Amino acid sequence: MSSARSDLLWRLEDLGRGLSLLAEEASLGSARPVEASIPQPQEPRRFGEWIEAVAGGHDLEVEEITGAYGELDALVDSAGPALLRIGSGDGRCLGEGAAGATRDQGWILLLGATKSLFAPKVRILAPDGGVYPVPKDRLTIWLKEPLDALHRPQVERLLERAEVPASRRAKAAEALLVQRLAETPLEVGYLLRPSPSTDFRQRLSRLGTFRRLAALVGLHGVQYALWLLSWWLIGRAALGGTLAAGWMTAWVLLLLSLVPLRMAASWLMGSLSIRAGGELKRRLLHGALSLDRDAMRHEGAGSSLGRVIEAEAVESLAIGGGLTTLTALIELPFALWVLSQGLGGGLLMGILVVVLLFGSWAGWRYRDALDRWTGQRLAMTHDLVEKMAGHRTRLAQEPERHAHRAEDLELKGYLRRLETLDRAVIRLLLLPRSWMFLALLAVSPALALERGAGGSLALAIGGILLTQGVLAGLTGGLSTLGAAWISWSRVEPLFRAGGRAEERGLPQLALESSAALAGSRAEANRESAEDRSAVAPAPVVIHAKGLAFSYADRGRPVITDGDLTVRVGDHLLVEGPSGGGKSTLAALLVGLREPTAGTLSLGGVDRRSLGLDAWRRRVVLVPQFHDNHVLTETFAFNLLMGRGWPASSADFREALAVCRELGLGDLLARMPGGLQQMVGETGWQLSHGERSRLFLARALLQDADLLILDESFAALDPENLQLAMDCARRRGRTLMVIAHP
């Protein structure tokens, strides 16, 4: 098959099969085609959900690729495996609206770019299952074509009026297009990558980490062997009295050959650090977002902060200490061989064994002291954060004479731990120095009496020096690894949480449920309130039967034998006393908690079949004020973060309309940046009432099948309360409001 554009394009209805083949070809997953209806091109939000659902069936994540017109060349280099839209497809041009029609429309399944300096190419998976190389410039032109088609006629007319010669017109048009459209953003497609919950070793293997590690070991071994050979040559020539030009030339050539080897080893070491560190951070971040919320509340903000600090230490200490230890272990056999060949090799080997035993004892004491010191430090961090959070309460209730008694006791204990740690560090630092002292003491009689051959004595001294360097590397590397291991013991819960399998559900069920509810909702909206009683009951959104839930640390269940049916168009009010289980019920319905008994379904589909992400897109909760947050970002981002980002112009228009309905129009008029104004802790400060309406607008803009408001109107004055309630009734077509009686 040729690599013509039409032969490489995938049709929309074939993308499910193509994504499965792409995952298999890129070694990201197995070929498991997922049968699911394809959303229409005019439904970009549902299309994105479909891509996520199909990719989730292969334990993959998708990330929407948005790039500027002038950055597409660099983007193609780094993208892959990816799905790239060609022509207008179902996509949009963020800066210019829908693109004009092109001669071919469809999708390119990109595997990645080839490594070539002179003729860079990309590997593309074709519908026939073959992989074909295509010049990178050609793919970039295809991606730019929708914008080019919109603007090229105007540029051509401009060049014609300027009387630019026909021979130079094409080149001038390209230059003008690049200058004019360089910053215009384009929705390019979707990037595929493994889910953070997949096996960590497999992810490192896919990134080539173990191949690079093996190459680093080989390079360092060759480099060290050549370094020893170079000094053997110069030593033999000097001690043998044959320091001729040939020996010097060979020595210089060997030293010069070390330069590219050391450069390659340094590059591999940096590459390993970046790749392994990046994957570890991604896994820990995913784990932090997957932690049980009740466990986090129980341990407190201070412990969470300490865990974050230790997570940073794990990456730097483990990678740095591991590579240092690895290089020392590579050098150890060479040093031992040289040591055994020199004068008094047996005696020196015995001394080395004694020194290593001392080092093992010193290392154990260091690890124990470091563990105790780390625990004390993290406990102090936790106490400090908790006391800062309750500073006003302490000022009001704690007697002044007792204000710092606890801190003084903690500092005293901390200093004792630190003294013990310092002594352990000193013992470790003595290890290579004690070896040097004892080894030189053992060979000093031969030095004083000038016994033994010069070469044997030189080998002994060289072995002592090499072993001293190895011991220094092992001491530093293993002590760093010990610190990393102690930090890891605090961070391991994050890593384990990041490996939990997500409830992805079945794409077909998720999309059919969404489409059915959307159709039912539209039909319910067309019916008047008077006619609803005369027609059949509206379809069920949420159905619960025998629902029960109890917290792990409480004996009495919060909810028992609960039955609930919410239909399309219902507006429900849930009232009850504090602690009665209202917020727990909301958390169960939205998927934040899992019931301990009973059944719960959305549109007739249970959560495991539908998938947690699909469930939470269809049932949206506005939690109580203390559980909701304004992020330090633009006002628009805080509004549209649940809808999708970057937002389209239509999203911005709808966000502005919702804000005006909620009475936030005056706020937007006061803010210099309007919707683009930075808000949050380091931006524009919002009042409680403004925050409450922002939280409500954020939920309404997600266009959910069921909207749950948990005491969302408590901070509003009567006028704004009426505006918020009217807006919620209009836009929240199926609504549940939780309030105190």
- φ and ψ of 355, to 5 deg: -65, -40
Residue 532 pLDDT > 70: no
Mean pLDDT, range 366-379, rounded to an integer? 84
E strand spans, 589-705: 597-602, 605-606, 619-622, 633-634, 678-679
| CATH value of 200-498 in 3.90.78.10, 3.30.70.330, 1.20.1560.10, 1.10.357.10 | 1.20.1560.10
Say if residues 710 and 624 touch (Cβ distance below 8 Å). Answer: yes
End-to-end CA distance of the chain: 72
- What is the per-residue pLDDT across 545-554, written as a single tens digit (0 to 9) for each? 888 888 776 6
Cα separations in angstroms, 177 against 39, 74, 171: 33, 17, 10
The pLDDT of residue 100 is 39
User: Is the torsion defined by CA of 721, 725, 731, 732 positive or negative?
Assistant: positive
- Using DSSP, state whether 596 is helix, strand or coil: coil
**Residue, of 583 and 27, whose pLDDT is higher:** 583
Minimal CA–CA distance to 703: which of 651, 739, 663, 631? 651
Q: What is the mean pLDDT of residues 654-665?
A: 91
Instruction: Map tokens 């997957």 to a residue.
Output: 290
In angstroms, the Cα distances linking 653 to 93, 108, 532, 649, 693 are: 17, 32, 32, 6, 17
Per-residue confidence (pLDDT) for residue 243, from 0 to 100: 65
pLDDT at 119 over 80: no
The residues, any chain, with a CB within 8 Å of residue 179's CB and separated by 6 or more, are: none
Residue 502 — very low, low, confident or very high, per pLDDT cuts 50/70/90?
low
pLDDT score, position 553 = 66
Q: What is the mean pLDDT of residues 484-493?
A: 80
Q: pLDDT at position 33, please?
A: 47
DSSP character string of 211-269: HHHHHHHHHHHHHHHHHHHHHHHHHHHHHTT---HHHHHHHHHHHHHHHHHHHHHHHHH
Look at residue 485 and tell me whether its pLDDT is greater than 70: yes
Q: Which amino acid is at 444?
A: S
Task: Evaluate the CA torsion angle 159, 161, 163, 166 in order and state its sign.
Answer: positive
pLDDT (0 to 100) of residue 95: 38
Helix axis angle, 454-498 relative to 293-341, nearest 10°?
170
Tokens 């190389």 -> residue: 133
How far apart, in whole angstroms, are the C-alpha atoms of residue 367 and residue 740? 54
By residue count, the chain amounts to 741
CB 244 within 8 A of CB 353: no
How does residue 91 score in pLDDT terms, banded at 50, 70 and 90?
A: very low
Looking at the predicted structure, is the pLDDT value of residue 41 above 50? Answer: no
For residue 104, the one-letter residue type is: D
What percentage of the chain has pLDDT greater than the value 70? 82
Task: Print the SS3 string covering 530-568.
Answer: CCHHHCCCCCEEEEEEEEEECCCCCCCCCEEEEEEEEEC
**Mean pLDDT across the stretch 404-417?**
80
Confidence of residue 97 (pLDDT cuts 50, 70, 90): very low
Query: What value does the mean pLDDT of the chain take?
Result: 78
In this predicted structure, the answer to whether residue 447 has a pLDDT above a threshold of 70 is no
Query: For 397, left (φ over 0), alpha (ψ -120 to 50), or beta?
Result: alpha
Strands of the sheet containing 559-567, edge to edge, are: 559-567, 540-549, 597-602, 605-606
pLDDT at 698: 92
Count of Cβ atoms closer than 10 Å to residue 683 Cβ: 17
Evaluate whether the domain defined by 533-739 bears CATH number 3.60.130.10: no
HEC string of 456-522 equals: HHHHHHHHHHHHHHHHHHHHHHHHHHHHHHHHHHHHHHHHHHHCCCCCCCCHHHHHHHHHHHHHHHH
Q: Which of 357, 545, 351 is nearest to 442 (CA)?
A: 351
Whether the predicted pLDDT of 54 surpasses 60 = yes
The residue that leads in pLDDT, 271 or 294, is 271
With cut-offs at 50, 70 and 90, classify the pLDDT of residue 654. Answer: very high
Model confidence at 297, pLDDT cuts 50, 70, 90, reads low
Gap between the Cα atoms of 181 and 96, Å rounded: 10
- Indicate the domain borders of the chain: 5-194, 200-498, 533-739
Q: Which is more confident, 719 or 243? A: 719
- Mean pLDDT within 4-29: 80
The predicted structure's pLDDT at residue 536: 58
- Section 262-284 average pLDDT: 83
Q: What is the pLDDT of residues 229-259, one digit of tens each?
A: 887 777 777 666 666 777 778 888 888 888 8
- What is the distance between the alpha carbons of residues 445 and 457, in angstroms, rounded to a whole number? 11
- Look at 430 and 313; give whichever has higher pLDDT: 430
